[in-house]
Structure 1
Amino acid sequence: MLDSSPAIVDAIYKRFARKVKHMVTGWGGNIKEAANVFEDVLMAIYDYAHLHKLTLTNHFEPFFLYACQLKWKQDLMQKEPGKAMSFHPVAPAPGLDEQHIKYIEAALAAPHVRQGADNTREELEEIIADQRERWFHTKDGPNKKVSIYVIITAIIGAGMAGLLFVSPWHKDIYRQFSGTEMVHSNHLATEQDTALLMHQAAAAFNHGHFNKAIGLLNQVIVRDSLNSTARYYRGVSLVDEGNLVEARKDLQIVFNSHSPFRYDAAFYMALSYIRERDKQQCLEWVLKIPENAPIYWKAARLKEELSY
């Protein structure tokens, strides 16, 4: 979270959004209030960890869900004190030790004050805003103030585009959609095997050192040509480095396999054509991604972007 990792935030929403929604609505709240609780807790954890040493040795699930319960109790005290008094937050199994409960209480009590410019926090806020629409969508009509703001922003944006002779297609759509993270397991520094190479490649990849990641993944693929994980992340790295021909070779192999990264590879094939501003080829690859694929929601947003 301190790196505003889209993959980490996405995983948190996938695992806990429905549970928090059920908890809040079950105790007198609505979906909008559930979204506020979820977001406030995420930002509280970020702000606290940004300023203090926060080391989690407990499982993250009871830590996060207990924080959401405690936050909702605080909100409920303002809304319905009587009901709040009967709501007693309890950390899910396997529970929390006293130190982690103190972390949560301190994080929720701390004022949310920015310490100067914090681009990472702004990125995290943008990621969270995108997730709200996905996981806490309501059928209520849009707020009028928001609508007016959107209209004014659109007019200003259109005017600036006209002044600068920049079409919407020229904005950096690739950077908007290309964020991902290489998931890996921790390994001992003494290991001299493929697992260690993957660990080192993940560290390089997640810090944006794609050329270094490519070199390490090359070694993995030499040892194990069927390693679809290594081939997928090498393909993604090659796209970012602008080596699109070689990138597409890797991504095509992954797409043609039964790899769990199959449709992620299709998505990055689409992004590779974004880099060449080939809208038609990009759209063709987006359409290969089925609705049940985990990457589909991102593909759907890219498809919407291509329609502008």
Structure 2
Amino acid sequence: MTPESLTSNEQDYINGLLHHEADVIDSIYQRFAIKAQRFIQQKGGTVRDAAHIFEEVLLDIYFFVRRHPLKVASFEAFLILLCKRVWEKEVERRGARIPGLEPDETAALSREDMQDLEDVLKEGEKRRVAYHQYLQLGDDCKELIRWALTDCLQEDIAAETKIPVKDLPARRASCFKNLFLRIDGELKPVDSMLESEIQSADAFLCGIMSEAARSAYAEKLKATPPLANQVKRFDMIRQLLAQRICTDTERDELQHQLYAHRNTWFAAKDNSITPIRNYVIGIAIIAITLATLLYISPWRKNIYSQFSSTEMHAMENDTLGLSDEVKKEFNRGHFSDALRLLNKELAANPDNIYARYYRGVCLVDLNQLAAARQDLLTVYNGNNKIRYEAAFYLALSYLREGHKQECLEWLLKIPEGAPNYLKVQKLIEELKA
């Protein structure tokens, strides 16, 4: 299907996105990606910002049409205006503002289209806030909430999380309360739910109440409209968050296609005289070759082992330094011994960012992931030249648990100019295979 063949039926774009049809997604990028990028760069954004916003908007539309009917007069006008609105929101979060939209930017959309656009925008913003705040939680709460949003039996969840069944409701309520406190700090609702009400609402929405208790709670909601509104909001946030964190092969397939288009359509400008069409074809051939090589590699089944190998090298400008003994143990793969020595180094010099980074790497390899992430986050959040190496091992820590979505989120934080960027792209391709 060519881009031109789609212009006579705008609904083909929406249906193709819903069913992640490769030719439709290709057409969307061919026709609209550059327009979105141009606007975002003109309004202070980077190419990376443009790629992120374009992907977010396509996902917003995708998630919306999975739950609601959507028909627009002009997909182009709808998509580009939505990109502009989402970028406006992002700029506001960064503490700035951009001028309002010109009147002619809404001229191609009907009143119904504009209402649909506002609905997609509001739902997408709530999903982004919920997901962002979810990522800030501790690993235990993230795991428990992820399980809470599935249809698994309580006994199975207890076995996976190692939390007794009798303690699950209170622990879930506590984690949801922490999440809502973070979300409410950004969305500022009229009122928030008490933790005791969260526990009851969670049991009601998950269907783990007895029939009698469920009937009684339903009557309570009818008699208490404010509580009913809070439970409705709780249910909405649960559903929006589940769209991002629960297992979903359909969503993953679409995301993989979007990630594959990122480097093609949002790469740094090529200054050579090679036509863009040949450039795109060349990139596609390279990507296919890499994917093929990765697919046939004998170690493909253990992606973590393939990408986790590293050595401790002497660091330029590392004024604190690391002992030869710790380097020797680390490079030999004796991570328990290296960890013991790094603990001593950090006890004496807690600001040694390299010791903290390599301790995080050791802890990932030793499967002590919570402690590893504390060290690696400290490195990543600092202004240093190895912060993107720390981001890579944070991604690997989630890969080791089998959490591909969170692994991808960390990989996508690593910019094109980072020293490990090529390795990052190879890992993304491997995750897509």
Q: Which has the higher helix share?
A: 2
What TM-score do you get using the length of structure 1 for normalisation? 0.45
- Greater radius of gyration (CA): 2
**With CA pairs under 8 Å and 6+ residues apart, which has the higher RCO, 1 or 2?**
1
What TM-score do you get using the length of structure 2 for normalisation? 0.33
